[in-house]
């Protein structure tokens, strides 16, 4: 993540100063767009080669044009084909198994140009493309222009790990001329950057070693204790590091007058797994809900008898979070992690419907305390599947088995 580089931090600071000084002389949205585009281009060129940006620009023009066409005329086939096309390109670039299969087929010609694009930020770019296409199809994009769209796609503070903004929100703040409110955003942005920097630069280095390598604890602890302590540290590490990055990204966006969505809301104080996913990586969770979970629910409702709503919900949870796991990487442990949460949410759903509503005990503070501890424990154990590869997981299970 480029915010960890002090030199890039300085470049970003210079860009913010130039941008805010220019606003003194003009509030024209085109000028603001142009300066933000220059900042995006400059920062990204420090991270990727020109070829990657050229490919993204061409692809962005294509997706933008398809979106404009969908805004004029709702064409479900065009929407479906466009999304499948994007997913295929993303899969070719990110999954080694698909690359190997293509190399053995006629379509190997696709590999070279796709693989030449650097991976940095591609998954979040994919989300923005899909959001643009679907919302264009739903007629939810009242105003748009390609310059703003391109800035939205490659906005450097949020390109690597979110938050995943919506086009309408981004467009609104580009066009916004509420000078006093933007001054408040500027000072709020400085505060958020300081908080995020403290998390990622001061706290994370203290715990990262023990969090990511349980073997460091084996000389002084039993295998089970070492793994559990490391998992607790990893649970803290991934939250501190990720939320710290989000703070810096949100704060940087504030400095240029763009109010992005929040990404975390004390997720480890959640009262259930469902509640956790409303608080953890919020913009990603919303994306999954809108563009994966709901469409799958609607699809299965057309196939199965409506009386089987609980079964449909369980099937959809497992599929949605299997997709969520695979999105994180091409290693099978990410699929384990996704299924872990899919099954957990299914149990959560059954509990809420069949058990929780039948006693006042489940409304008590003691129950919410137990529920919170259970949720945190479930999420923390799940991080083991997220962090360790399949081979490493086998070693861990052999260490702790009786």
Cis bond upstream, residue 163 (ω within 30): yes
* Per-residue pLDDT reduced to its tens digit, 151-178: 999 898 888 777 999 999 998 888 876 6
Is pLDDT larger for residue 379 or for residue 154?
Answer: 379
Is the pLDDT assigned to residue 361 strictly greater than 80? no
Rounded-to-integer distance, Cα 96 and Cα 94, Å: 7
Rounded-to-integer distance, Cα 281 and Cα 284, Å: 5
CA distances from 155 to 152, 162, 174, 256 (A): 5, 10, 12, 11
- Which tokens in the block code for residue 161? 């790990």
* Per-residue pLDDT reduced to its tens digit, 266-287: 999 999 999 999 999 999 999 9
Rounded-to-integer distance, Cα 159 and Cα 155, Å: 6
pTM to 2 decimal places: 0.89
Of 208, 192, 283, which Cα lies nearest the Cα of 245?
192
Rounded-to-integer distance, Cα 149 and Cα 143, Å: 11
Buried b (16+ CB within 10 A) or exposed e, 19-29: bbeebeeeeeb
User: 223-255 vs 179-198: helix axis angle to the nearest 10?
Assistant: 160
Specify the range with the lowest mean pLDDT, choosing from 50-54, 170-174, 291-295: 50-54
* Per-residue pLDDT reduced to its tens digit, 60-77: 999 999 999 999 888 889
Reported as a pLDDT band with limits 50, 70 and 90, residue 243 is very high
- 31 CB neighbour count, 10 Å cutoff: 14
Is the pLDDT assigned to residue 195 strictly greater than 90? yes
CA distances from 343 to 233, 294, 307, 340 (A): 24, 18, 21, 5
Is pLDDT larger for residue 250 or for residue 25?
Answer: 250
CA distances from 368 to 266, 271, 335, 355 (A): 15, 6, 30, 15
Of 248, 247, 221, which Cα lies nearest the Cα of 233?
221
Across all residues in the chain, what is the average pLDDT?
A: 86
> Quick one: pLDDT at residue 178?
64
* Per-residue pLDDT reduced to its tens digit, 304-341: 877 788 899 999 999 999 999 988 888 899 999 999 99
Of 247, 262, 266, which Cα lies nearest the Cα of 379?
266
């Amino acid at each position: 993540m480029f915010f960890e580089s002090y030199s890039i931090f300085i470049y970003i600071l210079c860009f913010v100063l130039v941008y805010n000084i220019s606003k003194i002389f003009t509030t024209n949205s085109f000028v603001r767009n142009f300066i933000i585009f220059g900042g995006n281009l400059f920062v990204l060129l420090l991270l990727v080669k020109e070829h990657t940006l050229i490919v993204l620009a061409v692809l962005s023009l294509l997706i933008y044009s398809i979106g404009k066409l969908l805004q004029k005329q709702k064409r479900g086939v065009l929407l479906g084909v466009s999304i499948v096309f994007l997913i295929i390109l993303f899969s070719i670039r990110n999954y080694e198994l698909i690359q190997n299969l293509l190399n053995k087929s006629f379509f190997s010609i696709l590999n070279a140009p796709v693989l030449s694009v650097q991976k940095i930020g591609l998954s979040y770019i994919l989300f923005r493309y899909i959001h643009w296409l679907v919302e264009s199809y739903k007629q939810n994009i009242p105003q748009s222009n390609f310059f703003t769209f391109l800035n939205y796609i490659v906005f450097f503070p949020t390109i690597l790990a979110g938050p995943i903004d919506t086009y309408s929100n981004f467009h609104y703040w580009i066009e916004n001329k509420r000078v006093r409110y933007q001054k408040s955003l500027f000072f709020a942005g400085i505060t958020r950057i300081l908080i995020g920097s403290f998390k990622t630069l001061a706290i994370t280095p203290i715990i990262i070693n023990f969090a990511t390598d349980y073997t460091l604890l084996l000389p002084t602890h039993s295998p089970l204790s070492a793994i559990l302590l490391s998992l607790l540290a990893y649970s803290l590490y991934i939250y501190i590091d990720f939320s710290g990055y989000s703070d810096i990204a949100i704060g940087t966006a504030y400095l240029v007058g763009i109010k992005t969505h929040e990404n975390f809301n004390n997720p480890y104080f959640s009262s259930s797994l469902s509640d956790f996913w409303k608080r953890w990586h919020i913009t990603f969770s919303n994306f999954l809900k809108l563009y994966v979970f709901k469409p799958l629910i609607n699809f299965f409702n057309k196939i199965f008898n409506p009386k089987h709503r609980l079964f449909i919900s369980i099937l959809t949870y497992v599929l949605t979070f299997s997709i969520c796991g695979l999105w994180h990487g091409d290693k099978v442990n990410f699929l384990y992690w996704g299924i872990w949460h899919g099954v957990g949410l299914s149990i959560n759903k059954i509990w809420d419907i069949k058990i929780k509503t039948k006693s006042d005990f489940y409304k008590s503070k003691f129950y919410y305390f137990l529920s919170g501890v259970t949720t945190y424990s479930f999420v923390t154990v799940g991080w083991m599947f997220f962090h360790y590869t399949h081979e490493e997981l086998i070693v861990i299970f052999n260490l702790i088995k009786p």
